[in-house]
């Protein structure tokens, strides 16, 4: 599939069932809601933390549950991990705006740009940290047990700079929209939570704060991608956008719908998440920072 077509699809809505089929969620038992014979059937995750696998708390408008938001976020962060890792080890890294001809992620030539490469190395580390958080919230023991282990990118995405940055911006826009919605959804859940709620109001409010904290980092990634491609001004927005995304998990305008092309084999070559997470230490650059205090 041509990259232009993929990027256009990311911006549009399409059948949410394709996402469930692509992820294999129902078979894996990951928290999800799928439409069967016109009715909603909840598939609860096996091995989730007790609070995460309850269905008593949901956004009053979108019907997203905490577990569904955490699951969608984990898949998105694993997708981002796979994307940044392959960018750092693919031919695109030898672009003059990155490591330069003959350069690598850890050896930038004199004709390359150390700062730009470090942006990508740090982004990889940050996405891994985010995924670790959602894995812990879902009670998943390790990356090998994450619901999606293969992601698909259009041919040539990791070969040259223009398609790589175009995909980076499309992905980060979707992530920004997802975390903006997660912030709102957790806030609404907190407001609606009663004394017998599976989650106390303060915990849901904290999740909203965490979503906002991650949103800020994803916004940095979007802008720094534009810096790498010399797209000026890189910081071209007064406010970040939901990018046509109006829920995280449920609904035709959800983040999971927007990201479906990257879970669909017809999009292009397959890339292994297992390979990315196993080899990330060789190219990532760890940075500081921790969760907001409770």
DSSP character string of 5-66: HHHHHHTS---HHHHHHHHTHHHHT-SEEEEETTEEEEEPPTT--TTTT--S---TTT---H
Q: What pTM did the predictor assign?
A: 0.85
pLDDT exceeds 60 at position 22: no
- 3-class DSSP state for residue 270? strand
Tell me the per-residue pLDDT of 70-87, one tens digit each, with 9 for 90 and over.
Answer: 999 999 999 999 999 999
Of 53-62, 146-155, 200-209, the least confident: 53-62
pLDDT of res. 7: 62
- DSSP assignment string, 226-268: HHHTT-SSSS--SS---TT--BSSSSTTBHHHHTGGGG-GGGS
Structural contact between residues 59 and 187, judged by C-beta atoms closer than 8 angstroms: no
Average pLDDT of the chain, as a whole number: 85
Question: What pLDDT, on a 0 to 100 scale, did the predictor assign at position 11?
Answer: 54
| pLDDT exceeds 60 at position 260 | yes
Taking residue 242's Cβ as centre, other Cβ atoms within 10 Å add up to 18
Helix, strand, or coil (residue 107): strand
Question: pLDDT category, 175, cuts 50, 70, 90?
Answer: very high
List of residues 6+ apart from 246 with CB closer than 8 A: 62, 181, 253, 254
All residues at 6 or more sequence positions from 99 whose CB lies less than 8 Å from its CB, including other chains: 93, 105, 107, 108, 109, 112, 113, 117
Closest CA to 263 of 4, 9, 63: 9
**Pair 78, 273: CB distance under 8 Å:** yes
Q: Which of 91, 74, 232, 38 is nearest to 149 (CA)?
A: 74
Mean pLDDT confidence for 153-181: 96
The answer to whether residue 46 scores a pLDDT higher than 80 is no
Which residues have CB under 8 Å from 286's CB, separation 6+? Answer: 122, 125
Q: Confidence class of residue 8 from pLDDT cuts 50, 70 and 90?
A: low
Residue 255: is its pLDDT beyond 90? yes
**Selected residue with higher pLDDT from 43 and 250:** 250
CB 86 within 8 A of CB 67: no
Predicted local confidence at residue 96, as pLDDT: 98
CB count within 10 Å of CB 57 equals 21
pLDDT at 56: 73
pLDDT in tens, 102-123: 999 999 999 999 999 999 999 9
Show Cβ contacts of residue 59 under 8 Å, excluding neighbours closer than 6 positions: 65, 185, 188, 189, 247
**If pLDDT is split at 50, 70 and 90, which confidence band does 9 have?**
low
Which range, of 22-36, 125-139, 272-286, averages the lowest pLDDT? 22-36
| Percent of the chain's residues with pLDDT above 90 | 77
pLDDT category at 33 given cuts 50, 70, 90 is: very low
Instruction: Give the H/E segment covering residue 179.
Output: helix 161-192
């Amino acid at each position: 599939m041509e990259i232009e077509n993929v990027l256009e699809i990311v911006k549009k809505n399409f059948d949410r069932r394709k996402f469930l089929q692509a992820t294999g969620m129902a078979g894996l038992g990951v928290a999800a809601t799928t439409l069967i014979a016109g009715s909603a059937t909840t598939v609860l995750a096996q091995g989730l933390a007790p609070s995460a696998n309850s269905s008593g708390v949901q956004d009053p408008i979108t019907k997203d549950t905490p577990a569904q938001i955490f699951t969608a976020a984990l898949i998105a962060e694993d997708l981002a991990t796979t994307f940044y890792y392959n960018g750092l080890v693919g031919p695109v890294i030898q672009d003059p705006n990155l490591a330069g001809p003959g350069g690598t992620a850890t050896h930038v030539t004199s004709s390359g740009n150390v700062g730009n490469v470090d942006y990508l190395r740090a982004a990889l580390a940050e996405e891994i940290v985010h995924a670790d958080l959602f894995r812990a919230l879902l009670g998943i023991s390790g990356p090998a047990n994450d619901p999606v282990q293969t992601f698909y990118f259009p041919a040539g995405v990791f070969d040259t700079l223009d398609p790589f940055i175009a995909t980076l911006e499309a992905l980060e826009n979707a992530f920004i929209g997802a975390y903006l919605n997660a912030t709102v959804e957790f806030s609404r859940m907190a407001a609606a939570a009663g004394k017998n709620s599976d989650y106390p109001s303060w915990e849901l409010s904290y999740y909203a704060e965490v979503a906002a904290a991650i949103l800020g980092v994803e916004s940095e990634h979007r802008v720094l991608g534009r810096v790498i491609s010399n797209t000026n001004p890189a910081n071209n927005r007064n406010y970040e956008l939901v990018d046509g995304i109006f829920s995280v998990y449920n609904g035709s305008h959800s983040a999971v719908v927007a990201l479906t092309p990257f879970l669909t084999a017809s999009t292009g070559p397959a890339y292994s998440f297992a390979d990315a997470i196993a080899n990330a230490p060789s190219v990532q650059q760890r940075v500081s920072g921790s969760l907001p205090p409770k």
